[in-house]
Amino acid sequence: MSGISNLSCNNEVERGPQPHIELRVVVFTLHQDHLQTLLSPSDPAIFPNCWEFPNFPVLPGQALEQTAESCLKELLNVPELYLEQLFTYSGPKRHPTQSLISVVYFALSPLDSHPLEERKASLLWQPANTPPPLAMDHDEILSYALRRLRYKLEYSAVGFELLPETFTLSELQKTYEMILGETLDKRNFRRRILQGGIIEPTEDYRSGEGRPARLYRYRPDAVAEVKARRLFP
């Protein structure tokens, strides 16, 4: 403990051992036109037929964010991914037998990530909007992560993190529509994203059923945050 001792507090609440800390990660990806999240089966003795978000070790010599990032990259076989802190959950009712503090991170994995390694076969991508039963408060965590994803999509460029390096404007628009759950106007979508300087065209085209579509690339140097509309002038 650094500095002065804890400030006293007259709460009549049981003291006792420190709660256990754990590190969890909510990862989203797009797969088969659906938003998916990575889940791990729960211990059937405690939470039968339930799933939970992946649990990584809390290492004293490493920041939680670093641990989450390197474990995830190894697990998913991707060189880069988007990662940020989601929330820290605490409270006595979260687990039946122990006091538990969960520091939860939020990650996005690009569409072309390799399938999971065999030795991690217990982990499965599951549909994020219709997940299987989740243990503890992980349903609450999932809905908060989905809210965060939708919200971030509206004011930042986070959507590109779910796509491969190059993509067509239609693919990008479909990604946004899938996550936001609404359809967008094609011309307005294109105008805004192109004027924003967030993506740049490549020289390549992708041939599909109709006319080939130009491929674009995300510009990582772009200033992607849009300032919120201020409540006051």
Residues 194-223 that bind a second copy (CB under 8 A): 196
Contact 126, 51 (CB under 8 A): yes
Binding-site partner at residue 181 among a second copy, DNA, none, CB < 5 to 8 Å by type: none
**Shortest distance (Å) from residue 153 CB to DNA:** 14
Whole-angstrom distance, CA of residue 142 vs CA of residue 180:
16
Residues 131-150 that bind a second copy (CB under 8 A): 135-136
The site that binds DNA (CB under 7 A) totals a number of residues, namely 22
208 near DNA, judged by CB under 7 A? yes
186 near DNA, judged by CB under 7 A? yes
Stretch that binds DNA, among 39-47, 89-97, 132-140, 168-176 (CB under 7 A): 168-176
Nearer to a second copy, 90 or 204 (CB): 90
Among 112, 140, 154, 204, binds a second copy (CB under 8 A): 154
Nearer to DNA, 90 or 205 (CB): 205
Q: Which residues, other chains included, contact 4 with Cβ-Cβ below 8 Å and sequence gap of 6+?
A: none
Nearer to a second copy, 32 or 188 (CB): 188
32 near DNA, judged by CB under 7 A? no
Whole-angstrom distance, CA of residue 84 vs CA of residue 130:
24
Nearer to a second copy, 4 or 210 (CB): 4
Half-sphere exposure of 138 (CA within 13 A, CB side): 27
Binding-site partner at residue 85 among DNA, a second copy, none, CB < 5 to 8 Å by type: a second copy
Burial degree of 32 (CB within 10 A; 0-12, 13-18, 19+): exposed
**Shortest distance (Å) from residue 212 CB to DNA:** 5
